Amino acid sequence: MESLKKERHQLENASSKLISEALKAGADSAEVCGTFGQKTRISLEKQDFHLASSDDGYQFGVRVLKGQRQGYASCNSLDSKELKEVALRAVEIAGFSPDNPYFSIQSATSNKTEHPVELWDEALSHISLQTQKDWIQWMAKEMLKDKRIRLNEGNLELGRGLYLVTNSKGTHQIETDSHCTWSLMGMAAEGNEITSFDYFSQISRKAQGIGDKIIKTSAQFRDSLLKNLKTGPAKSYCGVVIFSPRAVLDILIDSIIYHLNGRVLLEGSSRWKLEDTGKVLLNPAIELVDSPFDSERFSCVLFDREGTPTQESVLFSQGVLKTFLFDHYSAKGLHQSSNGHAVGGPSGPPTVGSHSLSLKSGRESLSQLLKSLPQQNQGILWVNRYSGQTDPVTGDFSGVVKGSEWWENGEFQHCVKETLISGNVFDCLGKGLLGLSRETQIVDCSGESPTAFLDGISVTAG
Amino acid sequence: MKDLADRIEKIILNSPVWTEARFHRRRSQSLQVQKGLVKQAKSNLTEGVGIRCLVDGAWGFSSTSDLSSAGLEKALKLAIECAKSLSQMKKSAVKSLPDQGLSRGEFKLEGYEALLQMPLERKLAAVIEAEQNVRNRSKTIQTAVCGYNEQFEDKIVITTDGARAVSQLARNEIRLSAIASENGEMAEGQHTVGRTGSWDCLFTENSILEMGESAAKLAVDLLKAPKLPGGLSTLILSPAMVGLLCHEAIGHTVEADFVLSGSVAQGKLGHTVASPLITLCDAGTVHNSPHAGGALLVDDEGVATQNTVIIKDGILNSYLHNRESAATFGVAPTGNARAWLYQDEPLIRMRNTFILPGQTQLQQIIESTENGYLVDCPLGGQADATGEFMFGAQKVMKIEKGKISRMYRGATISGQAFAVLSSVDAVSKEFHLDLGAGYCGKGQPAKVDAGGPYIRCKAMIGGVQD
């Protein structure tokens, strides 16, 4: 690829320098994560175009091991002197840190990633500033078609970059990425009625069709804001609540991921144990998969933060725990192998995380599930968004619903304000799960989920 | 720093358009110890210059980590091109920027050198010991974590209309948490503190051991605590909860960019929005709290910070401004423009936000409360432009007939900020800034602090329903 040839060369040279300086200074092994990013951005604020910006830069982080002691240092410079100082700093930190038997920098099992997706689009990497201006003008025009919309901010960014992980044990992975991201944040106002803020963000890694996607997603966002202008009361009750795909992912799945984190498991803070693998721990309807290979989602990665090729991981199938998320640290402590879930960038050492989660659909359609509900005439809360706290340890959650709806007898009545919900994640994904819809949605180019019908949730109406 | 400032100034003063250059060097170090193991010990250096230009009423911005004269000139050229490009699209031009408060000179906050000179090795030893002490507090403590972060900020802000401010400050924070477990139940307790200053500034109110004890005790107590019933209730909010209310629910709605977008505070200057007991401020430096976590002498547009009185005796008095919004409203800037890193453009952000103390002792407020809750230990929160807010609280104590009776598990507090502040009928003498370990998120993070006295008010508390 000619486009970023010079930058790739500089990134690889600086990374080699960091590793060699660290080894010279006494490190037993060293790993470097390096990035180069170049972006142009046009932003909107207060119904108008606000700022155009352009920048590029490198970032490097070096992790060293001296015996079982680890040190880490990072910088954003290509300067040889500074790179040397950073390597020395990492070795110095390792020198006074106590032993931790789980640290490791491992040799590559394979530097080959089976590339099922392409993250680089030559056409997208050469989009002109004029086209970028056209796109954001279309976005603003669509969003502001209705005078009741209050646009707080919006962005359209074109970016391209490199991501590299290399170590002294033979791992060497580098990936090139081009992307266009766009986002909007705003509310709707009519008379004294003001809706809550809402936000959306999208990504595309292919130039073809972006203009249409921008217009379509902006229109959807505008319409969802306007819908929230019609507000009315909710009722307090304890019982069935409907969670949108966004609510399922934000409230329920994030907590599940905490307990599947290999490092949390190693520390003994997970509610589950390694021996629970193969056991039914959640409702049999739960099928949860982590896949990093959808290029139209934000987190599409072909190798992880330690250079391990990523893979699709089935986390739960029919409620049965299939695997935890491991990096080398947690895998070493638990006598497992990394399954490519080290995450992070150059500013810090690797941690563990998921990539792009998908909760699989149920068998019945939304309308069939609605008809089967017991509380039809008393009303039911449909949670679209949520602003609150979830205690990942206990699974207890409590917060205010946003942009959420009140339904009676299978019909939308109005949106609600000042309504709180509380419940427990594990109850919701256990006996409290009444059904998952056949229809699913990818939320903000991130996770995918169906709509969930859940029992045992407390609703407190203002 | 002086040589660099001279070089930047030379380039900037040759710019054909209004230009602002901001050099920012951040050196940060982080430590994290869990269950006796050092999970993280790291050091980071990020430096560069962000250049912002105003051409025909439109902003352009470019940043670079190349500090050579050629690198700076290239960034300036790009910023001008960006601004020119945007000016063809912009409907409403940015007005001429007011120059009140533009600063020249060197500005350094106390504690920078002391924190810099203390070796990281000593800090790590203290963090390891603190974590061990938390674990040793109770057999039910399953996991303990101690995390420490520090940031050294060196900045130069130069504008073509006269600012030349060179500033240095150091911020640090420490977090102790304990997870207790018994009979299948789990609970977490935390104690955090954040300051601007030296290592010792972190421990002026509680020693590191006392902080650990407090986190461990909370985790153990919460294990047996029941969930509370939900509904509209009388609440006494602790200084930390008041800080969250000031910051999230009031502060954001009075940031002038949000006001212009249509926040609930729009058009309410001069209106009664709170009880007459309430005077609410946002300040760069706070009297009697010299090490406030959001302390700042000069903002990222080179404007001297000041104490901005947002609500005075219950009446909305001022919004928070950068230079652009001050021009729009025809007032002086308030020194609230802040950027997280050199790559970021300055946004309107809070610094230290607080309610002034009152005349009543906390004990008197509790004794005069027939039925309510004392709410403490915030878990974070959010608010809308409508002023509707949501805060998590880890510790909720029931008050019955003037006495604290039992503890409940964490809950969510919600309400409309101005309505809640209008319901305030008691404000304590006791005053703390208590959110210095917190970061505000608004596209970019910002280090802030907030607090105040204990206040008694009415708000919704989220809990279980029968």
> Is the whole model's pTM more than 0.90, yes or no?
yes
pLDDT digit string, tens, across residues A207-226? 999 999 999 999 999 999 99
Residues of B in contact with A388 (CB under 8 A): 390, 392, 412, 462
Q: What percent of chain A has pLDDT over 70?
A: 97
- Three-state secondary structure call for residue A200: strand
pLDDT digit string, tens, across residues B225-283? 988 877 889 999 999 999 999 998 999 999 999 999 888 899 999 999 999 999 999 99
What is residue B175's predicted lDDT score, i.e. its pLDDT? 97
Domain A5-227 CATH (choose: 3.40.980.10, 3.30.2290.10, 3.30.300.30, 3.60.15.10) = 3.30.2290.10
- Say if CB B30 and CB B149 are below 8 A apart: yes
Work out the minimum CA distance from B261 to partner chain A, whole angstroms.
5
Model confidence at A268, pLDDT cuts 50, 70, 90, reads: confident
Residues of B in contact with A400 (CB under 8 A): 388, 390, 412, 414, 462
pLDDT digit string, tens, across residues B133-158? 999 999 999 889 999 999 999 999 99
Going from the C-alpha of B367 to that of each of B256, B363, B364, B454, B456, the distances in angstroms are 40, 6, 5, 14, 12
Chain A contact present for B231, CB below 8 A:
yes
Name which of A151, A238, A389 is nearest B464 (Cβ-Cβ).
A238
What is residue B387's predicted lDDT score, i.e. its pLDDT? 85
Q: Do A269 and B465 touch (CB under 8 A)?
A: no
Chain B contact present for A393, CB below 8 A:
yes
Helix, strand, coil shares of chain A, percent, nearest 5, are 25, 40, 35
- Say if CB A69 and CB A100 are below 8 A apart: yes
Cross-strand bridge partners of residue A222: none
Amino acid identity for residue A300 in this structure: C
Lowest model confidence (mean pLDDT) among A77-81, A107-111, A300-304, B345-349: A107-111
Going from the C-alpha of B204 to that of each of B147, B193, B209, B434, the distances in angstroms are 18, 10, 12, 12
Helix H or strand E encompassing B132: helix B120-135
- What does the mean pLDDT of chain A come to? 93
Q: Do B462 and A74 touch (CB under 8 A)?
A: no
What is residue B403's predicted lDDT score, i.e. its pLDDT? 97
Residue A420 has pLDDT above 80, yes or no: yes
Chain A contact present for B128, CB below 8 A:
yes
Residue A2 has pLDDT above 80, yes or no: no
Helix H or strand E encompassing A59: strand A48-66
Work out the minimum CA distance from B287 to partner chain A, whole angstroms.
33
Q: Do A57 and B65 touch (CB under 8 A)?
A: yes
Interface size between A and B, measured as CB pairs under 8 A: 236
DSSP letters for A222-286: HHHHHHTTSEE----EEEEEEE-HHHIIIIIIHHHHHHHBHHHHHHT-SSS-GGGTTSB-S-TT-
Chain B contact present for A45, CB below 8 A:
yes
Going from the C-alpha of A83 to that of each of A29, A32, A80, A154, B342, the distances in angstroms are 17, 11, 5, 37, 20
- Say if CB A233 and CB A461 are below 8 A apart: yes
pLDDT digit string, tens, across residues A392-414? 878 989 888 988 999 998 889 99
DSSP letters for B401-461: TTEEEEEE--EEEEEEHHHHHHT--EEBS--EE--TT-EEEESEEEE-EEEE--EEEEEEE
Residues of B in contact with A399 (CB under 8 A): 390, 392, 412, 462
Residues of B in contact with A184 (CB under 8 A): none
Sign of the dihedral through C-alpha B324, B328, B334, B338: negative
Helix H or strand E encompassing A51: strand A48-66
Mutate to test the interface with B, among A53, A201, A459 (most CBs of B within 10 A): A53
What is residue B385's predicted lDDT score, i.e. its pLDDT? 77
Chain A contact present for B126, CB below 8 A:
no
Spell out the residues 6+ positions from residue A79 whose beta carbon is closer than 8 angstroms to its own.
none
- Exposure string of B246-282, with b = 16+ CB inside 10 Å and e = fewer, is bbbbbbbbbbbbbbbbbbbbbebeeeebbbebbbbbb
Mutate to test the interface with B, among A378, A389, A417 (most CBs of B within 10 A): A389
Spell out the residues 6+ positions from residue B8 whose beta carbon is closer than 8 angstroms to its own.
B21, B23, B49, B72, B156, B158
What is residue A285's predicted lDDT score, i.e. its pLDDT? 97
Residues of B in contact with A186 (CB under 8 A): 261
- Say if CB A447 and CB A402 are below 8 A apart: no
Higher pLDDT, A72 or B435: A72
Kindly state the DSSP code that residue B94 receives in the 8-state scheme.
P
Q: What percent of chain A has pLDDT over 90?
A: 77
Interface of B with A in 50-89 (CB under 8 A): 58-65, 75, 78-79, 81-83, 85-86, 89
Domain boundaries, chain A: 5-227, 231-251+360-461, 273-349
| Domains of chain B in sequence order | 2-223 (3.30.2290.10), 231-462 (no CATH)
Q: Do A396 and B409 touch (CB under 8 A)?
A: yes
Mean per-residue pLDDT, B213-222? 95
Model confidence at B446, pLDDT cuts 50, 70, 90, reads: very high
Tokens at A387, concatenated: 């602003």
Name which of B46, B409, B460 is nearest A418 (Cβ-Cβ).
B460
Name which of B79, B120, B261 is nearest A93 (Cβ-Cβ).
B120
Residue B466 has pLDDT above 60, yes or no: no
pLDDT digit string, tens, across residues B316-363? 999 999 999 999 999 999 999 999 999 999 999 999 999 999 999 999
Work out the minimum CA distance from B30 to partner chain A, whole angstroms.
9
Residue B389 has pLDDT above 90, yes or no: no
Residue of B nearest to A50 (CA): B59
Residues of A in contact with B412 (CB under 8 A): 388-389, 398-400, 420, 422
Chain B contact present for A415, CB below 8 A:
no
CA–CA separation, B27 vs A196, rounded Å? 38
Residues of B in contact with A98 (CB under 8 A): 37-38, 128
Question: In A168-236, where do the E strands start and end?
Answer: 172-190, 193-194, 198-204, 231-232
Q: Do B465 and A462 touch (CB under 8 A)?
A: no
Closest CA to A459 of A230, A232, A240: A240
What is residue A110's predicted lDDT score, i.e. its pLDDT? 64
Work out the minimum CA distance from B322 to partner chain A, whole angstroms.
14
Q: Do B232 and A462 touch (CB under 8 A)?
A: yes
Work out the minimum CA distance from B361 to partner chain A, whole angstroms.
31
What is residue B438's predicted lDDT score, i.e. its pLDDT? 84
Q: Do A400 and B388 touch (CB under 8 A)?
A: yes
Residue of A nearest to B120 (CA): A93
Work out the minimum CA distance from B104 to partner chain A, whole angstroms.
27
Model confidence at B47, pLDDT cuts 50, 70, 90, reads: very high
Rounded to a whole number of angstroms, the distance between the first and last alpha carbons of chain A is: 59
Residue of B nearest to A347 (CA): B44
Model confidence at B288, pLDDT cuts 50, 70, 90, reads: confident
Q: Do A196 and B379 touch (CB under 8 A)?
A: no
Q: Do A421 and B462 touch (CB under 8 A)?
A: yes
CA–CA separation, A209 vs A215, rounded Å? 10
